Structure 1
Amino acid sequence: MVELQPTRIDIHPDVIDDLQERLRRTRWPAAYVDVGWSIGTDAGYLRGLADEWASTFDWYEVQDRFNVFDQVEAIIDGQRIHCFHQRSPRADATPLLLVHGWPGSVIEFIDCIGPLSDPDAHGAPGAPAFHVVCPSIPGYGFSGPTSDEGWSARRISRALDDLMQALGYEEYAGAGGDWGANILTDLARSDRQGSLTSLHLTMPTGLPPAPGEVEVLTDFERSSLEHWAQANATGRVEHVAINSHRPHTYGVAMNDSPAGLLSWLVDMCRSFTVYDGDVEEALTREQLLANATIYWVTGTITSAMRLYVEHARQKAAEPHPPFVTVPVSVSIFPSDIRRWPRSWAERSLTITDWEVLPAGGHFGSWEQPELFIDAVRRSLGPSTA
């Protein structure tokens, strides 16, 4: 039996003091020719951001925003899992499991929990309402590091279903992108698929056409595949290889150096949202630093990367996963790093609705919360859930 305990986020000031001191003592690389972002994180930008992290960034403002919401934690399958659990005051609310991805955290949904759970209090009277459950993926953020092997997307999906059942939700809808989409899709493929009424995904899985198969793509879909090919050719998705093979090599460095951690996360966030543009067109400096702080204070960068190892093992063990029969609505954010065509997704998912939103990238709910909220309401409200 899963025992739920009320909790709050409470990072001790000594942890923040240590973070700031480490940043002040960063041993920066020797000066070199200014090459901007062409071979990694822009040195000048990173140093300025790190200086801000060490001096003016206020973690406790972020913590206070989180602590507005109800929270519980539980030990499930030997692993601590933390989640925000915000019940709606509405009797007709739909239970909703929100699952974040990489290289983000639950902060991706910080601006969505309130409007989704209580639309009447957030300027949308009568809009669909949800009982929102927003966990940190095991190995990420406030759930803390995983301590044993085997925490694949499949195992995580079962643990999150156990969490939902313990909270009293026998059936519920799910929404997520990146790992969130993978985890929810794995749940929909498992013997627990009956828990899910419907899904809303922003980065759906997909299968390319068979050799010789004729495929008609829209201009957007064609440009999306070209974008993905360019991202692979220019090293923008090398994190997949690194995280899938050597997370314990790189993880030690990032777990010990906040400047190194920040460099890695900021470069990923930029590539996944604006690609070659200004990262602050997608995410503010405070957002970037808040996400990095979550990884730092929880010591989860290594275990977060390790999920890629477990996913690779899962794929090797199950190269041809079953078709998903749970209804799936898809909202594509146009600047996301990976955007499969609808026809690819339809080879593995039961697609009931598909749309391309006007703005946003990999962290759609974080970059464009209003667009995400509206999409979830359209897709998973009472008439569709």
Structure 2
Amino acid sequence: MVSTAPIRRGSFATSAAALALSVAAAFSYTEPASAADQPSASPRVAAEDDSIRPFHIHVPDDTLVDLRHRIAATRWPDRETVADQSQGVQEARIQALVQHWGTNYDWRKAEARLNALPMFVTTIDGVDIQFIHVKSRNPHALPLIITHGWPGSPLEIEKAIGPLTDPTAHGGRAEDAFDVVIPSMPGYGFSGKPTGVGWGPDHIARAWDVLMKRLGYKQYVSQGGDWGSVIADAMGRQAPAGLLGIHVNMPATVPPDVAKALNSGEPAPAGLSNGEKAAYQSLANLYKKGGGYAAMMVTRPQTEGYGLADSPAGQAAWMYDKFAAWTYSGGDPERSLTKDEMLDDITLYWVTNTSTSSARLYWENNNNNFNALEQRTAEISVPVAVTVFPGEIYRAPRSWTERAYPKLTYFHEVNKGGHFAAWEQPQLFTEELRAAFRPLRQYQ
């Protein structure tokens, strides 16, 4: 996440159709190549399988047949009593999406695209970490690890892989090339599900450094949005040897006095600029009208998981609500993402049964991700780059960003794109990463 020794091709095939089984139990893989064929691993405190094993997805046909049967048997609630989305996802919208899911949508297309990418799995601290690893043809490419968020997945980053790794084919210069590593966080996608507590952002951040060094990279950069921003911040605080810098597109910039007012429901503090007032209002709206999902996952991830694990329509509505609210689309996510793109992500959560395990990350963290004090951004000792997208949950003002990140080296507000930046605007996202990390290439 500079070179990986040749690995014998293998198969990572499903061995059971029961939805209740965990991914670890439901999937199996062929024996990895010999230790001599593996990249060297960083020293481990305890004995652990440090091998890098090929990974291949094949969801059982029975799982997909069961999904369609469940969709067909959906019991719908009565429709909303308002003409807008103030009560949540509107019935007509979610019924259209779910009907398409149960009739015309084809998961195998997404599966084939993913299987066309170099995918691997390795075990870190007892948990299998599945990841995409695409190397540039440029031998001087800058290694980059990108962390997704919720309700996202590595699918968020898929469209940016080509521009990042092959810049000359996408309007960039050869020297802008990256080697790209995109892991699924523990409890998400095809990574393993932790069976105990402790896999919060700090633990994931340390695991990502292990992963990069296990892949042979001595120097690299880190990027993230949503949870990826939290983890990139944690990596910046930890500043492991070789981490050159971080880029985030959902920065933790809320000053303590503003956070206090938000948490108590008080009016905005006096003296805010127009941009700061707008940011405050966006956050206040989230806290009052859009934060119920997070409150549930922070306090009761297991409880909310029972319904999501059992109802495809419930899973779809739970995620579509955020696609509508967080894309740069005015509440109509199909302006930013196609139905199939959204269903690729929704189906990934469904076939891996990860609604509950992914929600536990909120329980583990249990704080306000936007709060600069709680995120301890002042402790970050590596260069920090920030891009603000107009459709983000809130537009971080430059003034707050400079206060929050003393090591800020790059700040740019762009004119399109939302919370799912790489998914919505892959070319613009790529251009931001090229500009943000360009000054750090001299230290490779």
User: TM-score, with normalisation over the residues of structure 1?
Assistant: 0.92
Q: Contact 1:36/1:43 (CA < 8 Å) preserved in 2?
A: no
Matched, 1:230 2:285: yes
What is the one-letter code of the residue matched to 1:222?
A: K
1:346–1:213 CA distance, 2 compared to 1 (3 A): farther
Between stretches 252-261 and 125-134, larger displacement belongs to 125-134
Matched, 1:258 2:341: no
Look up the match of 1:332.
Answer: 388
Between stretches 176-185 and 3-12, larger displacement belongs to 3-12
1:367–1:221 CA distance, 2 compared to 1 (3 A): farther
Look up the match of 1:13.
Answer: 61
What is the one-letter code of the residue matched to 1:208?
A: P
> How big is the alpha-carbon RMSD for the aligned residues of Structure 1 and Structure 2?
2.5
Look up the match of 2:116.
Answer: 68
Higher relative contact order (CA 8 A, sep 6+): 1
Q: Contact 2:328/2:416 (CA < 8 Å) preserved in 1?
A: no
Give the total of aligned pairs.
381
Q: Deviations over 1:23-74 (max 9, x none)?
A: 1111112456464422011101101110100110111111122122111101
Look up the match of 1:148.
Answer: 196
Shift of 1:281: 1.7
What is the one-letter code of the residue matched to 2:400?
A: W
Runs of 4+ in 1 over 4 A off after TM superposition: 31-34, 209-216
Query: 1:197 aligns to what SS in structure 2?
Result: strand
1:273–1:221 CA distance, 2 compared to 1 (3 A): farther
What is the one-letter code of the residue matched to 2:187?
A: G
The aligned runs of 1:237-248 (5 Å cut-off) are 237-248=291-302
1:46–1:93 CA distance, 2 compared to 1 (3 A): same
Q: Contact 2:329/2:335 (CA < 8 Å) preserved in 1?
A: no
Shift of 1:338: 2.6
Q: Deviations over 1:352-379 (max 9, x none)?
A: 1111111011001100111101101111
1:145–1:383 CA distance, 2 compared to 1 (3 A): same
Q: Please, which of 112, 122, 125 is the counterpart of residue 160 of structure 2? A: 112
| Structure-2 separation of matches of 1:71 and 1:320 | 31
Look up the match of 1:356.
Answer: 413
Matched, 1:285 2:339: yes
Q: Please, which of 177, 188, 199 is the counterpart of residue 246 of structure 2? A: 199
1:223–1:275 CA distance, 2 compared to 1 (3 A): farther
Shift of 1:248: 0.7
Matched, 1:300 2:300: no
| Structure-2 separation of matches of 1:173 and 1:135 | 14
Shift of 1:119: 1.9
Q: Deviations over 1:225-278 (max 9, x none)?
A: 222212222x21222211100111111100111100000100012112247531
| Structure-1 separation of matches of 2:155 and 2:442 | 28
Q: Deviations over 1:117-142 (max 9, x none)?
A: 12234454525001100001111112
| Structure-1 separation of matches of 2:77 and 2:257 | 48
Look up the match of 2:96.
Answer: 48
Matched, 1:86 2:141: no
1:264–1:62 CA distance, 2 compared to 1 (3 A): same
The aligned runs of 1:202-213 (5 Å cut-off) are 202-208=249-255, 210=257
